[in-house]
Amino acid sequence: MAGLYIHIPFCKQACSYCDFYFLTRRQLKDPFTEALIHEIRAHRHGPFADQPIRTIYLGGGTPSLLSGGQVQRIFEELHQSFDIQSSEITMELNPDDVTPEYLRALLEAGVNRASMGIQSFQPELLQFMNRAHTSGEAEQALDAIRQTGFPSYTADLIYGNPGQTLQMLEDDIQTLLKYDPPHISAYSLTVEPNTRLGKQVELGRLPPPDDEETAAHFDLILEQLSQAGIDQYEVSNFSKPGKEAEHNSGYWSHENYLGLGPAAHSFWWEGDHARRWKNRADINHYLEHSSKRVQDEEEILSEKTLAEERLMLGLRTARGVTPEELRSRYNYRFTPRQLEFIDRQVRAGTMHFDQHTLRMSRAGLRIADLLTVDLLSGG
């Protein structure tokens, strides 16, 4: 089983915190769609053509800038070129693009899960983030999801913004809960160097996010979502039972995936050979070469690197990792020093460890990356 990721690199405007690959030259949407179709066809005889495709994810950028017809065309081509057996087909949507008609066109194409870039319902925060949508459009989009009976959706929230009070965050959560979301991703605002936010912080015009405030925001999210029956299953992800994101779970457990579109990553692991590669983040190159080879960087991954990645990603999930999987799939065993470290963490209440599973406690999940780095460096 494998996954497909498709990067649609267009946006209306640059959000202040974003360092993904995107461009605002939307007149390239038609040639891009053609180029993407050529790239899909170029994989007809590659290793992914024989793999049943379990999940598809259209991300970006802003995939909802494509017309319903363009999305349908892409899916027709995917069905011709791959063995699509997907139970989950997700597409990222920005609220200002969503109408009931558009959602119906996506349903017809086969999309069954919408990923809504809500971020906040507070006008001043949306403006601070330079989002293209208004809070009214966010609510209308959620209404449209309900009206059309869209099978499933997830909504993104961003917390830890300068000037965001606990009350503002609580209002955001309560507004979202009115729409009964099956899944929510909540991200703390991250300051990336090559963004407008990064420059503002660097120049001292904005303070960097405050750790204590961010932690208080996170606690509020955890508490309010868990009261609503939406539980944390990964550091940034929350869902009702059975509504966890399948596509991302594939990344966390080293399922093979093919990335299409500029800047998309791919991963292939077969026998003792594992590699990851990235398509070049350059639309002009992509438009010219997508039918041949657009990959840029390739990395061969050793068993040790794979094992460490599995620990880094697995210990961010509530399910954790099993020593049995680490042994059989990664040939990895904890050293006596690491076992001592784990033992200390169990006593401190940050990890749980029994014969079958190592996982973080709720307290441990808050500092999961830090604890895993310590564990990997020998405890």
Interface positions with ligand SF4 (CB under 6 A): 11, 14-15, 18, 20, 22, 60-62, 94
Q: Distance (Å, rounded) from C-alpha 280 to C-alpha 288?
A: 12
Closest by CA position to 55, among listed 258, 261, 276? 258
Q: Residue with structure tokens 């499933």? A: 152
